[in-house]
Structure 1
């Protein structure tokens, strides 16, 4: 997968043509046709080199579509040695209704505070 579009190649060709042309025209004995011809060759080289650059950038920024880690792949009997090493708190033993009942009043107070700016809604 390449990064960008063919438009980048044309910009690279234009920039390389311009830079070489300006550099070559500074010679007081430069002839017009050989200078333009050499600039066109440099533009062609810049156009082709941009394909390689776009392919490299596409390779660097490539993100695979498939999921690299799945809970099915991991063994479920592995427990952390200490409670501090556990990164995630399992919530699968509680139902959604139990979880909502615990925080309903807190959520209502926060919403009231945000809507009305009442400081007394935070106090318990």
Structure 2
């Protein structure tokens, strides 16, 4: 990914044009059209060179996402990384003991409390 936008390239072209033009005009025998023509070529070179500079700056400033790798099973590290980012735990990761602990009456009581806006705490 490149750093900045295309406007950086235009600024680089403008600066290189101005610097070369000022440097070339100091010659007392300089002709106007060749000086402007060469300055435009130098501006084009500055414009193209800025792509490489922006790519280099983007490469230097790039920070990849932190992925935890395990040496045993490479797919398990990706799954644990994905599960850490998710807010909800998929149902296939829950054990049957957890399903047995869920009491339907308790769940119904919680739903009723939420629907009716009662402030009473529900405990297991």
TM (norm. structure 2) is: 0.55
Offset of 1:68 from its aligned partner?
2.6
Which residue is 1:68 aligned to? Answer: 67
Question: What is residue 107 of structure 1 aligned with on the other side?
Answer: none
1:10 aligns with 2:6: no
Cα deviation 1:6-56 (Å, max 9, x = unaligned): 000000000000000000000000000000000000000000000000000
* Counterparts of residues 28-107 of structure 1 (less than 5 Å): 28-65=28-65, 67-69=66-68, 73=70
CA distance in 2, matches of 1:45, 1:23: 16
CA–CA distance in structure 2, aligned partners of residues 32 and 74 of structure 1: 68
Give SS of 1:30's match.
coil
What's the CA shift string for 1:81-115, capped at 9, x where partnerless?
A: xxxxxxxxxxxxxxxxxxxxxxxxxxxxxxxxxxx
Alignment root-mean-square deviation, CA: 1.6
TM-score when normalising by structure 1: 0.55
Greater than 2 Å deviation, 4+ residue runs: 67-70
Q: Which consecutive residues of structure 2, in runs of 5 or more, have no partner in the other structure? A: 73-124
Any unmatched runs of 5+ in structure 1?
76-124
- In 2, the alpha carbon distance for the partners of 1:74 and 1:45 equals 48
